[in-house]
Structures are given as C-alpha cells and as structure tokens.
Amino acid sequence: MEMFKVSRFKVPYSASAERDAADDYNENSMGTNTFAYDSFDQTTKEDTGDMSFCMSNYPKDAMKMMSMMRSHHMLTDVVLEVQKELFHAHKVILSAASPYFKAMFTGGLKESEMSRVKLEGVCPSAMGRILYFMYSGRIRVTELTVCQLLPAATMFQVTNVIDACCAFLERQLDPTNAIGIANFAEQHGCTDLKQKGNQFIERHFTQICQEEEFLQLTAIQLIQLIRKDELNVQEEREVYNAVLKWVRYDEDSRYPKMEHILYAVRCQFLTPNFLKEQMSNCEVLKKAPACREYLARIFKDLTLHKKSVVKVRTPNTPRMIFISGGYFQHSLDLLEGYNVDEKTWTTLPRLRVPRSGLGAAFLKGTFYAVGGRNNSPGSSYDSDWVDKYNPITEQWRPCAPMSVPRNRVGVAVMDEFLYAVGGSAGSEYHNTVEYYDPEEDRWTLIQPMHSKRLGGGVAVVNRLLYVIGGFDGRERLTTIECYHPENNEWTFVAQMNIGRSGSGVAALNQYIYVVGGFDGTRQLSSVERYDTENNVWTMVAPIKVARSALSLTVLDEKLYAMGGFDGQNFVSIVEVYDSKSNKWEEGTPLTSGRSGHASAVIYQPSCASTSLNGTIDMPFTKNSDQSPSSPDDNMHDGSSLSENSMQIDSSHSSSSTSQSYNGRQN
C-alpha cells in the first residue's frame, strides 16, 4: 500500500469504486431542460441579414448528457478493467481527453479493436476520478487522493488534473513534508512543483533540518542541498550542525561519509573559536581524522586572515535595508525598512528611546541598535543602551548595556560578535573598544585603540576590524587602525588622502569605501577606497551631494549612501554606487531628511510555513451560482469539506481563472 506524507501526517490509500467520483457531485439526472439555451452570443451581417449564434452552455450541457449516458452504459464502446473493477466509457471521449487513450484507440494498436481493455499501473479510485473529470471537467483533490491521482494523471497525460494536483501539493508545503513533495514531483516529472518545493526547502532550511524527512536524505541528496547558494541561514553554523545531526541519526554507517559532506559546508565562514571547540570536543570528528585535518587547515587560514575563495550564500528571500534613529530637529525613534525589490519604504516598530549618532548591525537574525544620543525636548544624554529587534515577532528587547555611553559610535560584526568602537560620553572621547556576545548577553572590553575617535567608520574584511578616520577632539583623522583578534592588538595601515569624520564606511569584497564626511570646514563629496590586500588608497567617483553623518550599506554588490547633512539641510537623498561602472545613481529617497542614523541589511529569517486547511474552489467568483445545496456539498469519498482539498472546474475559461482560498489558517 503506497504511503505519502501530506500536511502533517501520513495517509494510507486504498482503492475505491468508480461511483465515489460521481458521488463527489451527486449529479443524478439531467432533467428535461438540459439543452435550453439560457445565454448566447450573436453576430449579425447587415448586408445579408444573416445571424450567427454561439450557445455558451452547449459544451457543458452536452458533456452532462454524455456523462449520464456513460452512467447508464448508453452507446459505450469500451470497458476499462482496473483491478477487477469495470468502467464503461466512450472511446471518443477518452481519446479527446487523453493523449494516452488517443494513441491507444487511433494509433493502430490492437486495443482499438477491443471492447474490453485491461489497464495496469492505476488504481480503481484514481481511474474513476479521472474518468469523471473527462466527462465533467471537474476534479476534487484531497490529501487522501492526491498520491493516487497524480501518477494516474501523469500516466494518461491529463494535464489539467496534473496541474490541479500540483497546485494542491504546492499549497500543502510545510517543513514536515517539503522534501517528500519535491521528491514526489521529481518522480512524476512535475518540474514546476519540484522547483517550488526546492525553493521552499531552501527558504525554510532551519526548520526542515529538524524534521524526520531531512534525516532520511541520502548522502548525495544532503550534499546537493547544502551546496546551494540560496540556502536561507543566518550563519554557516546552522548548516554544520544540521550535517552533524544527520550523521548522528545513523552514526556507524554515516560518519565515514562526513568528509565528503563537509566539503559542501562553507566551513570558511565558521568562527575559529567554534572550529577549535568542535575539533576538541565533537565525538563524531574524533572518529574521522580526515575531517579534523580539513577543519584544522581552515582554522589556520582563518587565523592567518587569508582571503576566502568561498562564495557567501545569497538566500532567495526578501531583503531589506533597515534604517534606525537619526536627527532632524531632535533625535528620532524611527525604524524603517527598504524593500530593494519593490523600491518601497515601510514603517516598523519604533525604537524604545529616540537616538541619533547610534550604530547598527544585523547578527544572527536580529537587528541591533547600539549607543547614540537622546537629544530630545526635555532630555539630552549620551547612551550606553543596546536594543535588539526581532523581524519575525516585530518586537524590541533590551540587551546588556555597554561599559560606557557611546555617541557617534562605530559598530561592526566579526566572528559572530558585535563590536562597538570609540564614540563619546559628553566631552570625553573614547579609544576604548568592546564586543558583545549575544549568547551570553555580555560585553567584554578589548585592547583600546591608539587614538580616540568620535564618528570613525568601521568595517571588517577577512576577520580584521578596521577603524577609519574620525575626530579626536583636535582634528579630523586620516589614520586607520586595524585590529587583530588573535593578538588582541591594533596596528596602523596606510592613511587616507583626506582627514574626515562622520563618513559612510562599508566593505565590498577586498575594498573598504569611505564616502563623504566632514573635514572640519565643509561637508565632503569625495569618495576613497582602501585595498586591504595591497594597502593602498584610491579616489573613486564622488557622490553628487556632499554630506556628512550619512549611512552606507552594501547590498547586491552595490553601495547605498543614505541621508545625511549637507551643511544647511538634513537630506533624504539616497545614492547607489556600482563599483563595476564607478558611477553613482539616484536611488529611492528616505521618507524624510535626517542625519546621524544607522543602517544594516537583513535577509528575512525563515519561519514555519502556514498550513492551509479547508476547501479551495478554482475558479472562485463572488457571483458563483453554487449554492449551499449544490452537489459539491455531498462528497462521499471518505472525506469531508473540513479536510484539505482543492476542487477544479475546467469548464471556465482558462484566461479568467483565479484562485481563492476559503478556509482556516493554522
């Protein structure tokens, strides 16, 4: 007995009689007015007086009559034998509806002369439903029937039923069954459904790897999955842990395969601390010395800060630029999201406290707002506050505060820690630096910088933290300091061409870009780029509007320079830089002018999918003539309207087909 998992449970499928399909609609007789034309289209030729009529109900009424004739065995010319059950039919109808039967009855095969044909590879229940569709253009797909119906529809090449089954299964996708549905689609050549199933798996990988289906993957299937660029994970540790879970499910037979599987994990994006802990404590790795050696080589490359040749994953999920806080007449509590694909801004839940001069970063699926200054009516102070925003729950939560208040602080992520660099508390400028561990909710001070820096820019390349420019209380700095986490020390690298603070700073590939800023006398439009491999600064195309206190963010290999102060006004201007063409183009402006804000890019975290339950009519129109007492309300196939089901009526024009879901969502 075939088993297939639909929704959240496994369903056995047993044969049912042909009458089940007809009982779905309970159409007992045609009545005396079957062919009364209640609507038609007409055209007139004025020169001859001719009129042409198109009876819109004619095909439907004719098929109803054919269905009645089949049920009464009137003029039927073939009997289909399926597992000892007999189905009377008309060869012409079968041939018109199915290329399979057309080839059988018109292609010179022996069956064309036979009045009784035995069919293999199909069950009576599916045969009855497909026959009913051939005569009525209607099919009801449920979780009890889809796994019989799709193979039968594929066998007979009934594309409408194939499409109906695929549409139903697509709506059933959730983390518990997505792998099974994608495999089922591949078995039956349903390319679109397979693609959508795979996209669902990529988007919801974090949930799917917790399910039984994931643990049943073969090693080859697992490698194919985790190699994908589009895998939606916040950190590569999620992929590594999923592999360990898969191995431990059948450790004795699977650990010898782990070396090949690890090559598909992008271990170069794991942190040295995590790798060190795994090599020391992981029992599976102790059985696989080749795996330990491979991870040891990666650990060495990371601690030597070698350039990674592995591509960063690019999840196929909605991407947004979050922008928070800022200043316009007073400190702002705004949080807004920019949808890059739709080019629209969305207002999100506000900061807990207004602040400008803050830093921001996205770490492990969470957006962090760090430090800044609350310069509002009746309130003026520099802040040590740190708040985090969950994009799924859309809620702000406080984190442990920093060791000191930091206004105009630089913020960056390295090794899954959040670094806060420099800034000020009142008239005191900081050279101190600390990092935040989100798992421990704790800040730790590290070696201070050589220079105090207010409004310095921060970027990370190859696990080296760079702090660029800023104001030390006397001058705008050209100096750049680089932090080596292994040695806990700062070193100077090549200086910028122009001293500046309040610049937008971001890393793109091996380069760090410094955009705009203030040189002590005026706002700057100049842009310079630091080559971390060659320790060289180069001037590139300037921005069109000189400004300081802007934010700079990287997305899709492009730089977004947003907002700022131009010396007279707080601007909403957004400029977008393409490094390949060395050109700035105008982007979608902010909703309002501001300076001293912070921004970061997020990929929408995956979350458990919504399961659909109920009935689906396709097409569905508000003016449907289906009443509560229609035949569709009496379906005797072992299921009820409360089950997951989809009903297709192909008698409607495909050009106007639409879908509407009428049910409940979990």
Q: Where are the domains of the chain?
A: 3-30+53-172+615-665, 203-303, 319-603
User: Residue 647 has what pLDDT?
Assistant: 67
> How much is the pLDDT for 317?
83
Q: Which of 153-167, 236-250, 321-335, 622-636 has the lowest mean pLDDT?
A: 622-636
Is the pLDDT at 615 greater than 50? The verdict is no
Q: What is the mean pLDDT of residues 140-162?
A: 96
Looking at the predicted structure, is the pLDDT value of residue 574 above 70?
A: yes
Cβ count near 403 (within 10 Å): 14
In angstroms, how far is CA 213 from the centroid of its own chain?
20
Model confidence at 657, pLDDT cuts 50, 70, 90, reads very low
Burial of 494 (0-12, 13-18, 19+ CB in 10 A): middle
Number of H helices, E strands in the chain: 18, 41
Residues 356, 365: contact at Cβ < 8 Å? no
Structure tokens that stand for 563 in this block: 């907002």
| 622 has a pLDDT exceeding 80 | no
- Residue 599: burial class (beta carbons within 10 Å; 0-12, 13-18, 19+): buried
| pLDDT score recorded for residue 287 | 93
Tokens of 91: 């060869």
Rounded to the nearest integer, the mean pLDDT of the chain is: 87
Mean pLDDT, residues 507-517: 98
Q: Which amino acid is at 442?
A: R
Q: State which fold the 319-603 domain adopts.
A: Neuraminidase (2.120.10)
In this predicted structure, the answer to whether residue 289 has a pLDDT above a threshold of 60 is yes
Name the least confident of 5-19, 460-474, 517-531, 580-594: 5-19
CB-based burial label for 472 (10 Å; 0-12, 13-18, 19+): middle
* Amino acid identity for residue 594 in this structure: R
| Alpha helices per DSSP H over 283-435 | 283-287, 289-303
Other C-beta atoms lying within 10 Å of the C-beta of residue 666: 11
Superfamily of domain 3-30+53-172+615-665: Potassium Channel Kv1.1; Chain A (3.30.710.10)
State the average pLDDT over residues 618-624.
30
Q: What is the pLDDT of residue 52?
A: 86
Fold of 203-303: 1.25.40
Over residues 109-120, the pLDDT tens digits come to: 998 899 999 999
Region 323-332 average pLDDT: 98
112: helix, strand or coil: helix
Q: Do 421 and 410 touch, CB atoms closer than 8 A? A: yes
Average pLDDT estimate for 99-106: 96
Peptide bond just before 619 cis, omega within 30 deg: yes
Q: Do domains 3-30+53-172+615-665 and 203-303 have the same CATH topology?
A: no
Model confidence band, residue 32 (pLDDT cutoffs 50, 70, 90): very low
